[in-house]
Structures are given as structure tokens and as C-alpha cells.
Amino acid sequence: MRRALDLAAAIGAPGPATYPNPRVGCVLLGPDGSMIAEGYHRGPGTPHAEVDALAKAGEAARGATAVVTLEPCNHTGRTGPCSQALIEAGVARVVYAQSDPNPVAAGGAATLKQAGIEVEQGLYAAESRELNRVWTRAAELQRPYVTWKFATTLDGRSAAADGTSRWVSSRAARLDTHKLRALSDTMLVGTNTVAVDDPALTVRDLEDRVVGVQPLRVVMGERDLPDDRRIFDDQAPSLHLRTRDPRSALAALWERERRHVFLEGGPTLAAAFLEAGLVDEIVVYVAPFLLGAGRSAVADLGITTISDAFRPRVRSVDVLAPAAPGEEPNVRFILEPPQENQYRGEQ
């Protein structure tokens, strides 16, 4: 199973090239425990890990044990069901780590058992879930996983009193943001951010060049926008969702097979997602200076007393060393919203 997990990770980090599918690895073992073949899923439209391994094994798969990181799928999508492929190949036993959280694809274990195949589940389940952490949670929620990212001063300002915000964060923080953007398949902002800041919302490298497969750039809101905004250029696909409702926006993106939204909107949009309980992860870059006035990082949440404060759990804290002469270090916090806020609308 450790080898299967390594194979699953061979495709690299999740992102636009892998979603809406998970990363999965499979190892086929002979009756004597020797390895017959191995395979892994390379992305949408390509063979699933089990099928990849079965194709390499051929007739040697008959009587074999399939060790796979995720419960074999039980539905026909871009490819056929892996449960049926394993049955037809004559596999005698299947050991899988994580149960499939996707209700559309789940049920493979039951199908295999009905066909007389021995099935075991749970070996390295936590490790498999962590490998597909975002995909798993999105499948459970049946909506895209939402990461809210923002940069702030020590006193919680995302822009100065005159509206200027370049640059609140350091160059090192901005480069780190691009690495995190690359892990998502969707960038999301509001119409005001597009109208005022005109962001490109692309993944770029040290020289500010657009690199890799780009996330879908989405602007949310009913306001009309000029066609010359950079979000509508040819550097990456874009979409204007004419709604102000976060839940409706996520439902529309889920239908478009989007699984990880990177929210970089302004304080009003951030507050709307927080109040709806639709933020799953928060990434904050804190710069070591004060403004004393200016735009807050998040709009009014209706909190009037300290006992009602929004208190996310800190998952990690990292100091980002300066990437340019004269810069001060920035601190990156990665947090998880309190459980009662995070999923209050999902029950």
C-alpha cells in the first residue's frame, strides 16, 4: 500500500490538471506476494489506476490481489467502472485504503463482494485521505473546497486609506501565493475587485511569466464589467457568474466539475462566504507594518462582543524569508475555521 500511495503521488500536486479526479495508485500482487504490475491515474480521461495496472498485467491478473489507495469506482464516467474491470480480469482479492466519498462513484466494494471477490478496507486510510485532502472534503460536501487567502498589515488592513494595496505582502509572500494558486482549479473574486484592482489571477513564476495549466478565473457578481479587464484576456479561461449568493456560485462551479476554489476577493465577498459557513481553509500573509486606517481584510461579520469572536484553528505558522533586498519577512498562517461555522450550512 505504501508503494500504491507513492504511485498515486507520482502525478504531482493536485490542481487544474488533476481535478475533478483524485490521485490513485494500484499494485497487483501474485498469489505468492510477488509484484505483477502497478499503475496510477494520470488525470481526467486517462485510465484509472486499477485499469492501468490490469492492462500491464494481462492474463497474469487472474487470481491476483489488487492493492489500491481508493475504493474502486462503481460508475461509468469518462471511463468505465473499475469494479467491473477487476471482476472481468479475474482478480481474487482487493485491498483498498480509503472508501470513496463520492456518492456517484461509491459502491465498488459491495459490487466486488457480490462477485465473490475477497475485499478488505482501511489499510493506510488516513494517508490516502491526506493525499487527496481537498478532493475528499469536496466530495463529502458536494461542493468545491474553498481556500480564502488574504494579505494584511499588523493592524488588519488590506489597503491604505487612499485605496492603495500594492504591496501589502512581500515578494516572498506573493510567490508563495502563486504556488498555492497552482493547487486549485478555480480563482474567485468579486466584481469590485476586478473593476478596481484589475487582477490577472494567473499562476506566474519568479519572472512573472504565466506557467503551467491555469485555474479557471471566476468573477462573481451582477455588475457589468469592461471587456478590457485582465481577467478576460487569453492567458487563462474565465467566467462571470452573475450571482451574489456564495452557495449558488459554488453550486454552479461544482456542476462545471470544479473542486478547489481559491478565494481572493475583497472584504465583502470574504464576509459573505464566512457568514454562509462556506470557507474550509484560510491562508493569511501578515506584513510587519501598521497603517492605522484603511480597508479591513474582512467586512462586518455582525460580531459585537469578544466572546463571539470568529476563532479559527491554527494549522501552521511559517516565516517567509525576504525574496528581495530591503524586504521584511512576512508570516504565513494556515487556519481552519471553527467547526460550527465551517459546516453549519452543510448538515
130 is in an annotated binding site: no
Q: 274, 259, 315, 242: which is closest to 20 by C-alpha?
A: 259
Catalytic residue among 50, 71, 275, 281: 50
Q: Is residue 78's pLDDT more than 60?
A: yes
CA distance 238 to 151: 24
267 is in an annotated binding site: yes
The domain spans of the chain are 2-132, 143-342
Q: Is residue 17's pLDDT more than 50?
A: yes
Overall fold of domain 143-342? Dihydrofolate Reductase, subunit A (3.40.430)
At 344 the pLDDT is: 47
88 is in an annotated binding site: no
Contact 219, 231 (CB under 8 A): yes
Each residue of 160-182: pLDDT tens digit? 998 888 889 999 999 999 999 99
Each residue of 106-139: pLDDT tens digit? 999 999 999 999 999 999 999 999 999 999 999 9
Which of left, alpha, beta for 337 (phi over 0: left; psi -120 to 50: alpha)?
beta
26 is in an annotated binding site: no
57 is in an annotated binding site: no
271 is in an annotated binding site: yes
Each residue of 238-289: pLDDT tens digit? 999 999 999 999 999 999 999 999 999 899 999 999 999 999 999 999 999 9
Q: What is the pTM of this model?
A: 0.93
Domain 2-132: top CATH class:
alpha beta
Residue 257: active-site member: no
